[in-house]
Structure 1
Amino acid sequence: MDLAGLIVFATALFIAAASPGPGIAAIVARVLGRGPQGAVAFSIGVALGDVVWLTFAVLGLAALAQAFHGVFLIIKWAGAAYLLYMAYRLWTAPAEALDTRADVAAESPVRLLLGGLALTLGNPKPIVFYLALLPTILDLTQVTMLGYAELVAATFAVLGVVFAIYIGLAARARRLFTSPRALRALNRGTGAVMAGAAAAIAAR
């Protein structure tokens, strides 16, 4: 793929990814409520979901995705249910236990990754970007295997930068809350944000 096309894609993806949506809300709420532990695994799952939709777009499988609408509907509800579960955990977790080793160890990286993947597969925002907007940005019929690999690499790079910025800012903001009362309020506030992200996905 030519450099100009790759830059256009990366720029459009950066703008789309950086704009707040259910995915960003879930990542930020998770870091604010639980700390940065596990955020990488969850973010990788979110990015893998983007690659799935990118693959559908490059292969011209938008019609197939529509045909399997029921499957993706189930995935959407699974992602929303996972976000609600995380919201419940955030709302009910004791403030003093947020950073303990036991609490962190209880969260499986694989489960976090799958949760992020389900979130993106059911999130209308990346679906619209890859299946509706991307074909107007790039001539996907001319994408070779090498070009596809470059697009995947660009996707991981752009999303990695965006997610790292949000995770870093959220982690820094979280350190401002030191008292148990403040941590409990933050915990419940981020749980509410997480529940809102689940509702946004389920409603679309």
Structure 2
Amino acid sequence: MTNIDFVGYLAVCIIAAGTPGPGTLAVINQSLTKGVKRTVPLIVGIGLGLACASVIAIGSLLYSYTISPWAYQLIGLCGACYLCYLGLKLIVSSNKSMDIVSEEGVLANSSLALQGFYISLLNPKTILFFLAIYPVYLNSTSTFSVNFINLTVSLVLITATIHTVYSVLCAKVAKIIKINTGLIMRVTGIIFLVFAIMIVSEIIRGLAI
């Protein structure tokens, strides 16, 4: 992989990470309602999910087979169910008190990390992204391992950086403008439900072909 190839890959990563999706939406919602510090675990979880998806994709390519349609559909269905769960949870929680006890905050950090992990890993388009990109850039057996690590780490770091920028900007907006956290949570919940419906619709179209 040449330096020009790597720069091209970085550009693709920046576009992919900056494009609105479930992960970005979760970061924006968390930043607006809780602040940057409470968004960090979510960003870490998203990064770990990306790394795991990368390993799954490279394992598929190494053994010279692609993920079968039923496996892709199963991942998509699990992702849709999880997004639906998150959406309903946000809508219901929007009517409750937003006060968090410090003791619960520790548990919430791990929950946020898991939430980010599942959002990232259970998004079928994440694995498809790796399956589409890796054959282009991992074309040398002598530098395969090094390139794989570089590509994975680069995507995780770029995604984390962009999400951190989003988080800081949203937190600043929340300080300047009085944010109705309940409304933000309800809107985010509805968008999560829309994402879930879109994934299920895509699966149904795939079954119909």
**Alignment RMSD (CA, Å):** 3.2
Q: Distance in 1 between matches of 2:90 and 2:43?
A: 18
- Which residue of 170, 187, 190 maps to 1:189? 187
Distance 1:6 1:58, change over 3 A: farther
* Secondary structure class of the residue paired with 2:178: coil
C-alpha displacement of 1:46:
2.0
Distance 1:113 1:98, change over 3 A: same
* Secondary structure class of the residue paired with 2:20: coil
Matches of residues 140-179 of structure 1 in structure 2 within 5 Å? 140-142=139-141, 143-178=143-178
Distance 1:92 1:21, change over 3 A: same
Is contact 1:90–1:191 with CA below 8 Å preserved after alignment? yes
Q: Which residue of 2 aligns with 1:115?
A: 115
Q: Distance in 2 between matches of 1:113 and 1:68?
A: 29
* Secondary structure class of the residue paired with 1:178: coil
Q: Which residue of 1 aligns with 2:198?
A: 200
C-alpha displacement of 1:141:
4.2
Matches of residues 80-159 of structure 1 in structure 2 within 5 Å? 80-93=80-93, 97-101=97-101, 105=105, 107-136=107-136, 138-142=137-141, 143-159=143-159
Distance 1:200 1:29, change over 3 A: farther
**Which sections of structure 2, spanning at least 5 residues, go unmatched?**
203-209
Q: Which residue of 2 aligns with 1:66?
A: 67
* Secondary structure class of the residue paired with 1:203: helix
**Which sections of structure 1, spanning at least 5 residues, go unmatched?**
none
Distance 1:52 1:104, change over 3 A: same
C-alpha displacement of 1:164:
0.8
Is contact 1:53–1:131 with CA below 8 Å preserved after alignment? no
Q: Percent identity?
A: 23
Q: TM-score, normalised by structure 1?
A: 0.76
1:49-90 residue CA offsets vs partner (Å, 9 max, x unmatched): 3223333444415865514843x5444433333333332332
